[in-house]
Structure 1
């Protein structure tokens, strides 16, 4: 099969569309194009075949480099980044597993942008995902008119990644049926994708240097459609853990919430005391233990850092657009209700008990306001 055109590394890093600042969430290679360009210009280390950056430069893109003005983008164990990058340089795929909201998808995107200069070859796993969405499909008008040909072939992310030598991201792979997941077996083991409808050299797509797969699966969904043993053997598994340190999580929530609020037209910075209450509440509801060591009911709902950022964003929006201020504890209660009741109606009762029993003894204006606002929970 004729190879698909492959943009140069410079084009991938530097060519940013004029509409990039108008989209709600540009891909990492667009958002951080200047950082990638600086890293590429200063990168003198050896690169794995087909990579846009060396392993060291790719690592600095993720964990940051003050000297080059590269921001830290992932809060976690740096050794995880090292292991992930080395895996991507081998013939095995990388599987990121962990609780929902632990930034597995973000890490997958950052790694793909650093390795390939393109994080958009993405497959979103789900019950309705088909092999056509993973490998390739057909333009049926051309198929009927001309028969099977490279002209009527519509490449999906896996075929494009193999033909172009790029990283393919497979989000939530265990949400796909088992037989759909197993279409990755041959591309991962033999580095070849068969197109039986075609003949001659076009019937086989051989992976170019740089191709690999990053898959993600959250630990709550792994039992939905567990992977076959054969497919597991073709991946190296890495677990992404929740942020252990309170200060680190608070700083991350404050930074990300401030970015979201500015993009939403809110000029007021989020209140630090409100965010401290928010992050503490999330950590205690997530672990089932208060700051003073009391045991309490854990919520079955996902109380992740990503959810905390979403709630902090909602607090700021409510405060600004409803009252022209930064948001307070009453906004926190109203936003928590939608987070706690997603998976299990009993979680709302647990949240109500938490606000009644585990908040009243705390000091501070925002904790007292949170306790007084508990009646705002529905039901």
Structure 2
């Protein structure tokens, strides 16, 4: 048998997981909110709508317990999202890639019903079975159609249990398959014609979908399906300070999760990454004095988090443990240069006309030129 050392054997299962679901990672916060929550709760919700928004936006409870912010942005957007889920309307989180749609979806489900795991992943090959139900063909052949032979989809399970189902990348699902949601969302039932039965949704059931219209492979939603959703658009961070705060928070969490033996990144390095991304994304320098060409990619906040996280790993394992410009430039160039011809020109021009002129960025310019 394989040998394990004592410390490995003693680790709880959760400690060995690469990534915990929101309801597990923030179980202590959810428990503290439940204990302090004395407001009315919709049927089958574990928290009141106000407590769900506190969980998302952060705050301090009367007991002094600190709730960490999961979403840094406009509070009203989260209030609208939560209020939607307390009605019979489904929620569509819409935005360009990297605006925390999946992150918000996961935390909403975790706070409301205690599980974020009832997920349908939208792909070009998604079939109706992924949304409705499938069959255990061994039982189907042995006994014929029966409830025992039905393999419930995440949506059917959510309806049975009165929970929240999540649909990731709704617009990647083929249009004819998307319409499988219409009866579920309008009638709150899931017919099983083969058994002449239907599955009614229990109170508490609802659906959160995410979508963006920037990626290739997008399938436009039918007007009938659009009417079943209340859409909340999640914008990119409004200010550089807000984006820096998001990157700082998420990178710190990544460092802990992956046990990266490096110093926390300095605020100046994170500010550089965010500044570069925002200037290239918006096509103008931060002071508004010069226009810059825009690359083909989205340069989202999520990509900025990835760049800083990768740089931190480089610093830890191949450097002195302190994040430097040299650790960041390769990741930034990789995020910017998606098209090897056009984006490479954009990146070189940005280095020569913007980065080179900033005296406090000389180390970054030298590192970028060395790796070019």
TM-score bracket for this pair, using the shorter chain length = over 0.9
Match of 1:308 in 2: 304
Q: Could you tell me how far apart the structure 2 residues matched to 1:131 and 1:18 are? A: 38
1:319 aligns with 2:315: yes
| Change in CA separation of 1:46 and 1:343 when aligned onto 2, cut-off 3 Å | farther
Match of 2:5 in 1: none
Pick from 251, 267, 277 the counterpart of residue 257 of structure 1: 251
Contact 1:352–1:377 (8 Å) recurs in 2: no
Q: Could you tell me how far apart the structure 1 residues matched to 2:82 and 2:341 are? A: 41
Contact 1:175–1:221 (8 Å) recurs in 2: no
| Change in CA separation of 1:239 and 1:210 when aligned onto 2, cut-off 3 Å | same
Pick from 161, 166, 182 the counterpart of residue 164 of structure 1: 161
Q: Could you tell me how far apart the structure 2 residues matched to 1:133 and 1:302 are? A: 30
Match of 2:344 in 1: 348
Match of 1:226 in 2: 220
Match of 2:195, SS state, is coil
Match of 1:269 in 2: 264
Match of 2:18, SS state, is coil
Q: Which residues of structure 1 form unaligned runs of 5+?
A: 1-16
Deviation of the 1:265 alpha carbon? 2.7
Match of 1:292 in 2: 287
1:113 aligns with 2:101: no
Q: Could you tell me how far apart the structure 2 residues matched to 1:345 and 1:191 are? A: 51
Q: Could you tell me how far apart the structure 2 residues matched to 1:115 and 1:345 are? A: 47
Return 45-54 or 161-170, whichever deviates more: 45-54
Match of 2:335 in 1: 339
Residue pairs, 1:38-53, within 5 angstroms:
38-53=32-47
Query: When the two structures are superposed, what TM-score results if normalisation uses the length of structure 2?
Result: 0.92
Query: When the two structures are superposed, what TM-score results if normalisation uses the length of structure 1?
Result: 0.90
Match of 2:53 in 1: 59
Deviation of the 1:377 alpha carbon? 4.6
Contact 1:334–1:376 (8 Å) recurs in 2: no
Deviation of the 1:337 alpha carbon? 2.4
Contact 1:53–1:114 (8 Å) recurs in 2: yes
Return 68-77 or 182-191, whichever deviates more: 68-77
Match of 1:88 in 2: 85
Contact 2:55–2:69 (8 Å) recurs in 1: yes
Q: Could you tell me how far apart the structure 2 residues matched to 1:219 and 1:21 are? A: 37
In the TM superposition, what whole-angstrom CA distance separates every residue of 1:105-124 from its partner, at most 9, and x where no partner exists?
11111111111111110111
Q: CA RMSD in A?
A: 1.6
Q: Could you tell me how far apart the structure 2 residues matched to 1:113 and 1:22 are? A: 21
Q: Could you tell me how far apart the structure 2 residues matched to 1:342 and 1:181 are? A: 30
| Change in CA separation of 1:376 and 1:292 when aligned onto 2, cut-off 3 Å | same
